[in-house]
Amino acid sequence: MNDSLRVVLAMIELELRRLRNDRTEVFTRAVQPVLWLVVFGTVFSQLHAIPTSGIPYVDYITPGVMLQSVLFVAVLYGLTLVWERDTGILKKLLVAPAPRYATVIGRSMSSGVRAIIQVVIIIPVALLLGVSFIPNPAYFVAALAILFVISGGFAALSIIVASLLKTRERFMGIGQALILPLFFASNALYPIASMPRAIQIVAVFNPLTYAVDAVRGLMITGNLALLPLDVAVIALFDILMFAVASLSFRKIIE
């Protein structure tokens, strides 16, 4: 256990160190969420087309856009494992004195580092657009923690998908095929109540829904009624993804 935690922390530190030398990617990745907020957010805000129980639409979708960004970063990060299969890094990590699942969890959780950076870039943009956050540092930190943890689950999900890929081709396509359904079949852009019945069912089984609800409650609405459920679902999702990813990892390394 101690070994595993050590490995996970080392991999998170690695990601922080890599980030220092790779700043352009941080900003190019931020373009998409910022456009969502600035264009989509402000346009729909004026249309008043979506029932948001009183809060401005830009405020409503800010957590959704944050989670979309987290999802995007995490899924692509996990898929890069297919690339690393062809380098020696993965092989060398496997030979380190740590359980294999620690490598998988470490890899997955370090996607959270990149994800949080994206969120941190989105916040000033949201503030400029007049989004009002709940000024409670504890809530804020809790929201970041949720974003960080769900990122690990999504990265593990994409490791599972990566283990099924034989080649690197269709890499981006697979990424999109994973991200877009999760994003649109969730409460990121509109309340579940306003969805068609079929999509509602998908949204209920979509872990993103729970993360959006938690972050929206902690950052924007202050409605924490479902927070315990949200946290439980996210934890369960992560554990499940880590477990399956650890098992399917064998396929990647052989």
Partner 1 sequence: MTFAIDARGLEKVYKGNVAALAGVDLDVKAGDIFALLGPNGAGKTTLMRILTTQFKPTSGEAHIFDLDVVRDGAEVRKVIGYVPQETSVWSDINGYENLLIYAKIYGLPSRSRKDVIHDMLESMGLRAPAEHLVKTYSGGMVRKLEIACAMLIRPKILFLDEPTLGLDPAARIAVWEKLVSFKEEFGTTVFFSTHYMDEANAYSDEVAIINTGRMVTSGTADELKHSLRGELIKFSLSDHRVDEHTLGRIRGLEPVKSVVVTDSTLNVTVEDAETALPCVMDALRSEGIPVERITTTKPTLEDVFLWYAGTTRAPGAASSIGRVEGKAGGTRRE
The DSSP line for 66-134 is HHHHHHHHHHHHHHTHHHHHTSSHHHHHHTSSS-HHHHHHHHHHHHHHHHHHHHHHHHHHHHHTT----
Of the two residues 88 and 173, which places its CB atom closer to partner 1 in the complex? Answer: 88
Of the two residues 10 and 199, which places its CB atom closer to partner 1 in the complex? Answer: 10
Of the two residues 2 and 46, which places its CB atom closer to partner 1 in the complex? Answer: 2
In whole angstroms, what is the distance from residue 169 CA to residue 134 CA?
A: 44
Smallest gap from Cβ 23 to partner 1, in A, equals 11
Smallest gap from Cβ 120 to partner 1, in A, equals 20
Phi first, then psi: give them for residue 109, nearest 5 degrees: -70, -30
Q: Which residue has the tokens 């034989």?
A: 166
Of the two residues 85 and 216, which places its CB atom closer to partner 1 in the complex? Answer: 85
Smallest gap from Cβ 88 to partner 1, in A, equals 3
Smallest gap from Cβ 87 to partner 1, in A, equals 5
Of the two residues 14 and 202, which places its CB atom closer to partner 1 in the complex? Answer: 14
Q: Which helix (H) or strand (E) holds 48?
A: none
Q: Own/partner pairs for 129-134, CB < 8 Å, 24+ apart?
A: 129/37, 129/38, 129/41, 129/42, 129/58, 130/56, 130/58, 131/56, 131/58, 131/59, 131/62, 131/220, 132/59, 132/220, 133/219, 133/220, 134/218, 134/219, 134/220, 134/222
Of the two residues 46 and 87, which places its CB atom closer to partner 1 in the complex? Answer: 87
Smallest gap from Cβ 3 to partner 1, in A, equals 7
Smallest gap from Cβ 86 to partner 1, in A, equals 7
Interacting residues with partner 1 (CB under 8 A): 3, 6-7, 9-11, 13-14, 17-18, 21-22, 86-89, 91-99, 250, 253-254
